[in-house]
């Protein structure tokens, strides 16, 4: 079952962008102190690339998609426009989710010592680059 799911994910994801997306996540990890994990998932909850340990990436991707849906509905309901980001502060750290184009979302995990301002700044920049990579790969797939 697990193998079949992975094959499905591979076919659905823009594989041409995955190595570049992973490189963006690695760069982000270097630039942001106290970053403990990073993941890019499709808006429907499938993993594109990740640097997470101690957490199941598929489960985190599914939760990210759910959070994206709730955040988008909440923002829309109060008239604040499209979803951009959601930051959850827990006792031991942060989970931050950022829109990354039309088809993907960036989720970051950080310890409680993280500078949230720096996290937001770097995540927004990285999210824009990831959006170009993923949306571009999807467009190339559509044209092929």
Q: Count how many residues are written for the chain.
A: 144
Report pTM. 0.86
Q: What is the pLDDT along the chain (144 residues), one digit of tens a residue?
A: 333 333 333 334 434 678 999 999 999 999 999 999 999 999 999 999 999 999 999 999 999 999 999 999 999 999 999 999 999 999 999 999 999 999 999 999 999 999 999 999 999 999 999 999 998 888 888 887
Q: At how many degrees (to 10) do helices 18-31 and 116-143 cross?
A: 170
Q: List the 47-51 sheet strands across, edge first.
A: 47-51, 35-42, 104-111, 93-99, 85-90
Q: Which residue has the tokens 């990436």?
A: 57
* Residue 1 Cα distances to 6, 8, 142, angstroms: 9, 11, 28
């Amino acid at each position: 079952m697990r193998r079949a799911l992975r094959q499905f994910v591979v076919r659905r994801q823009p594989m041409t962008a995955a190595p570049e997306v992973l490189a963006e996540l690695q760069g982000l990890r270097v630039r942001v102190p106290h970053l403990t994990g990073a993941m890019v998932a499709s808006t429907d909850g499938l993993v594109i690339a990740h640097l997470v340990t101690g957490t199941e990436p598929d489960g985190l991707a599914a939760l990210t998609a759910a959070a994206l849906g709730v955040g988008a509905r909440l923002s829309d309901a109060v008239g604040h426009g499209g979803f951009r980001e959601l930051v959850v502060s827990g006792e031991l750290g942060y989970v931050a989710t950022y829109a990354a184009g039309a088809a993907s979302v960036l989720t970051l995990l950080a310890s409680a010592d993280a500078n949230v301002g720096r996290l937001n700044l770097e995540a927004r920049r990285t999210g824009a680059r990831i959006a170009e990579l993923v949306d571009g790969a999807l467009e190339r797939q559509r044209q092929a």
